[in-house]
Chain A
Amino acid sequence: MDKKKIIIVEDDEFLRSLSAKKLEDEGYQIIVATDGQSAIDLIPKELPNLIFLDLLLPGVDGFEVLKQIKANEQTKNIPVVVFSNLGQEEDIKKAKDLGANDFLVKANFTLDDVVAKIKEILK
């Protein structure tokens, strides 16, 4: 069976490598993007099963990435889990209105929580 593919969009190197390693250990194929523009370029090419998206990114931000994904016929059904420093109600609402499946506030979740969330969506 093919491995399920996850794109991690995160500019913090440490968090990115930790989550990539953890998810690889869980049996997923991981592709990383370190900023918004490369995420927008990569996602339609790779067509992952899930996108793990930070919101505060250098250049194009995560909200914009989300907008572009949802505007593209090919990518609009890919589930998106937002993982961000932001966590005010209006940020969460904005992301959900743009089509995010879930919104995790950084620091409030452990990596295991994150994996559990992703597993549940990819079930």
Chain B
Amino acid sequence: MFLPWGTRAQMREGVHDELEFHIAMAAAELVASGWNAFDADVEARRRFGDIEYTESYCSAEDLRRQREKRRMTAFDELFRDLRYTVRTLSRAPAFTLIVLCTLALGIGANTAIFSVVRAVLLEPLPFPAADRLVRVWHENTSTDIRKGAVSEPDFLDWRRESKLAESMGGYFFADGMTAIDLTGDGPPENVSAALVGEGLFETLRTQPMLGRAIGAEDQLAGRNRVVMLGYGIWENRYGSAPDIIGRRITLNSEPFTVIGVMPRGFTYPSDGPLSVWVPLSVFGPDDIGRSRGSRFLSVVARLKPGVSQAQFEAEMNGVASRLASTYTANAGWETVSLESVRESIVGNVQRPLSLLLGAVALVLLITCVNVASLLLTRGSTRQRELAVRAALGAGRRRIVRQLLTESLTLALLGGALGALLAFLALRTLASSGVAGLPRGSDVTLDGSVLAYTLGISLLSGLLFGVVPTMRVAGASFEGALRAGGRGSVGKSGNRLRSGLVVAQVALAVILITGAGLTTKSLLRLLAVDMGFNPRNALVISMAVPDEFHEPPEAANRYYESILQAIRAGPGVRAVGSVRDLPTRGNGEMWKPDAVGSPLQPDQSPAAQLHHVSSDFFKAMEIPLRSGRYFAATDRRGAPTVLLVNEEFARRFWPGEDATGKSLRSGDATISIVGVVGNVRQRGPAEAVEPTIYIHAAQNFRSRMNIVVRTDGEPTAIANSARQAVWSVNKDQTISSVATLEETIGRAVSRPRLLASLLVLFGVLGLTLGVIGIYGVLAFAVTQRRQEIGVRVALGATPRSVLGMILGQGLRLSAAGVVVGIAGAAALAGTMQAVLFNVPAIDAVTFVQTIAVLMGAALLASWIPARRALAIDPAAALRAD
């Protein structure tokens, strides 16, 4: 259609003319049959009908037709642009490949990290109205316990007295500690379990997928052998049986009835998979103490609508302080501390994840800058082609649109490759620690993640597409046509490209600094002396089965015979056992009454109490500072003895030897027979706590983490050790066998993941930055061929030519480094929170970063500089 697009008024005028023609013809016909001219016109108009309405109806139709046509044309043009784009891109395969790879890396990294962030931080929690759920901790300011567990009597009082909470629930769960032996229907397994106290599921309100949740009536004695299954165990062990409800399964050698199955992804209160939920009342006061002093419950409350955390906290503080003044066991426990359930689940991963999201955003920015600068380089060689198109009648808008189509096509293709890359990356990440994040098992590349990928792809396309487009929009094509074959970018083009390089280097500096800081922090973390030797030791985790608990001597005999059986194996130097390994549990809490300590009883800190076997310290290689280790003579019936760590001795009897001192427990006085070295029980980044060790033979605990000190590679004896256990009891379930290093290593798996990802992104940023510097200089050398030729012809030395090009590269990089360091310093506050023992503004790291970047910049400048040297002045001057 060659008609130019008309306005509404033009349309109306056209219709008017058309209708007037008709009326004139009709009138003429009437005149021919004898009417006078005036009457004929009136009659013709009368016969026509509603002229006014017809005019507006017709012009409206025309307008609609034009709009539809215009849309079709736009579509046509887009299609033509796309075809043209595919042609141009396939004519420059190297360029296209580099751009696509760069984009795939940038977008892929963003997609992968975003999918993790979405699953962990953004997905709603699996509870209805989760924003009203808060965790309630018992607080004891005098002993500095902020997040204390709650005893059952206290919890029941809280529940009864709170008016602001709609409901309150309690549970007992500790990762790796609350586990139950599951037998029958397959191999015996030690499965993770949560012990559900009063009101938990009423408070959480999450509905089971099948059956019902544990309720108040399930806590009653005689009716409490019921169990809820997690989705994973239901799927894997019971083949997703739809008729599982009502089935009997065997837990700790007792029959339990399955009453419910939780939906996929519901693992509360565990971060990882959770197999079963059973009523807390299954474990009587003999298993778990129910006095006001035994604090073991975690409490979650649902606030009434409109109640603020502060109001609830004030109410609960009132309740707690009343209880504290009523019961001696509650002395000091005068307040509570609150935390939203969301915070309690994702609180400590929020910052590292946000940091990673920021880092990949920087990578994407660098990617965009890089691609923009590549397009700019190409744009200047394409200047002539575009000028020809303009001369042939393509409007400036049309050319701009063509260029944008090209950028967006590149971005979308890059995004598709990026999504693929992210898919592969996630599979790798899944095996290397993302699964260890809360809700990490929910990480997937689904529709919303892919929508995000599409979004950032388009955004990047616009971002890197707009720069070369701006140049075209402002360029004069006549100039380009006249400038001969080489095409040229003016001064402004060079400035733009230099600016892009500076930006790129600056962004890379920020990334590398972050990577350097977290790596250094990780190394410091790994270098921390844990107080024992983690190398060449194997850990076997199990528990003495219930049937051996009576009589008590039998339990001890069983415990000892397991240790002896392993000890007898080849390559074993020492075997010891402990209830809680360092970083995997903190023992039991005991607030000791130390005889002869200058500390007042209410000032004395709580201590960890650990149950160990005789050779535990030898197996761990924890040094003896004074006195003696435990011995076989410290058995049941013999006087109870204790060991303490140095920290305990320092706190309770400063400047004195603790060996020979004693602790009071009720009427009994227990003597301390030795002092051992400090162990960082809570992890390498945590402070050492006062610790007491007691012999398991004198105070039996069924859970055993058996540490086997070996002569060589610990995994070599894993099989014989397992066989040794089964030689004592072939039905003994073993929950895990791993090296001590692996077991401890889990404590640093998050810092390790953070550091390795940041290093990866840093290297990515650096590589892209170097490519950017190289590209700009290589282009500049090509562009300045003639100038360099003239200089050489006029007697410039190779050294001065080399210096000129290198100087240009280093100047740009230096500017980038300055901006980047300033940026890194500005982000120091954010970084500090994830660093261990490293200041966020760390001079050494900054200097290292600068050295790395300037070195890389030198390298990137070197090749173009050499190329400049090779220019033959005669040829350069003759060219063109």
Chain A complexes with chain B = no
B residues whose Cβ falls under 8 Å from a Cβ of A: none
